[in-house]
Amino acid sequence: MQNLIFARSVVSITLSRVKPHLKRCLWILFLLPLICSSCKTTQEKAVSHFRTGVNYTRSGNQTNALVEYSRAIKFNPQYKDAYLLRGGAKFAIKDYDGAILDFTKAVELGPTNNVENGAAFIGRGLCKFALKDYNGAMADYDEAIETDTNNANAYNYRGLAQAALRDWHGANGDLNQAAERTPEDATAYRNRALAEYPIKEYEKALADISKAIELDGGDAMSYAICGFTKAALKDYPGALTNFDKFVELAPQNADAYGSRGHIKSESGDFAGANSDFEKALQLDPNDAGVFLARGFMKEKRGDDAGALADFNSSASLDPNAPEAYYYLGLLQYNSSQWGPALENLRKTMALKCSEDDPQFYIWLIQAQTGKAEDANKELGAFVDSLQGVKAKEWQARIGRFLTGSLPESEFIIQAGINTNRPSAIIEQISDAYFYAGMKHKLAGDEQGAASLFQKCLDAGDDNNLGNWSARAELRAAKQH
């Protein structure tokens, strides 16, 4: 579940420190010599207004800076530096469309050096990112890297655009490049951890985010990433310490309370979780992630109706994110609503969910609706597509078990011994008993299925989705 809550935070984390880096990209321009000797009067005026704009930019007065850059452009319509810095000023006041026009004009006026051209492409890419045009942003970062292959900021932002598109492996590659070029930059380590977490490289993520905090202990989002990573490793006390720091540094951030509330609910502190959710929704009544996290808590407590309402709210507030559809599909599956469940699970996959579980629930739906052959063909293709390390991981073993190429006895044994980290064993055991129970149910062995479902519950991982489904199966069996 942490992966799903975490994935929703990528864009806000990405934008949280864009402005300082845009300023860093453009600041070098202030050091360029201003050739104003033997200029015409209009050029002297243009330079004078440009210099005044630079002073305003340095003092943080972006509105006045914008006015001065516009005056410089009026006197010299070919003044590339003025377009470039006016684009930065517009970006700072969130006039992204206007900034794109200025950065584009700077590009059209032609490169005078790699720094200027790279800054123009990066600036335009940041605007497109802010407008959620992630592919467009990536195209601009590509241009910036082509202009200057050593531009750490271009690799950084391209990696973050890939993360926003949920291409975690691509993001990790670019963010590695950024970190290698800026080994003392906390943001580089933070962002690399951001990409390592969704691909479950938790130990690497923890090392990177710890380094980021060491270099910059005042970045709230670093504590959030550290908290999610520790929770994924089942270190809930350590996770909560980090989220407390997140709240301390960002007391008006709804995600801070929503994320802490989620970790509290995972660790069983429902009263504390509910208090955090209430605070988060006071700060932002339309935070889709908070509804998602609260829905998780409600489902964990057996409040299916409340969970369904929250997941629906999350989906309506952020219809392009896969997480709410995943949980809607899960709830519908658990109540045997096969059609709606299948639709939501397929939508989850189309929107690039970071989890593989939707594949397995789709198999279960098809297997229970007379489409066993289709189920095996589709899931078999997924398993065959896994390469390298992923072909040996737990999710691949679930796929091989369901499609019949891994015997049940071996599957259950592997659940308890083959894992990347000890903290994952209970989750794998819960998965194994649930999926084994479903194979017995499909074979008509209701008693054997019930025994395995109970073993899933007895494993004690009530954050596990298989646990929830096993609970629903046992409840349904009692009603028949």
pLDDT for position 8 = 52
Is 470 inside a domain boundary?
Answer: yes
Is 115 inside a domain boundary?
Answer: no
Reported confidence tier of residue 39, pLDDT bands at 50, 70, 90: very low
pLDDT for position 40 = 54
Q: Contact 99/130 with Cβ under 8 angstroms? A: no
Q: What's 88's DSSP letter? A: H
Is 336 inside a domain boundary?
Answer: no
Supply the mean pLDDT for the chain: 89
* Closest by CA position to 355, among listed 330, 373, 336: 330
Reported confidence tier of residue 373, pLDDT bands at 50, 70, 90: very high
Euclidean distance between CA atoms 455 and 413, whole angstroms: 14
Is 138 inside a domain boundary?
Answer: no
Is 83 inside a domain boundary?
Answer: no
pLDDT in tens, 417-465: 877 788 889 999 999 999 999 999 999 999 999 999 999 999 999 999 9
> Can you give the residue range of the structural domain that contains 416?
357-480
Is 5 inside a domain boundary?
Answer: no
Is 321 inside a domain boundary?
Answer: no
- The mean pLDDT of 134-150, rounded to a whole number, is 93
pTM for the model: 0.82
pLDDT for position 356 = 78
- DSSP H helical ranges for 418-464: 425-442, 446-458
* Encoded tokens for 385: 């597509």
- The mean pLDDT of 262-269, rounded to a whole number, is 95
Is 52 inside a domain boundary?
Answer: no
What's the domain count of the chain? Answer: 1
Is the pLDDT assigned to residue 71 strictly greater than 60? yes
Reported confidence tier of residue 1, pLDDT bands at 50, 70, 90: low
pLDDT for position 224 = 95
Report the share of the chain in percent with pLDDT over 70: 91
* Encoded tokens for 31: 């050091």
Residue 151 region by backbone torsions, left for phi larger than 0, else alpha for psi between -120 and 50, else beta:
beta
CATH code (residue 396): 1.25.40.10
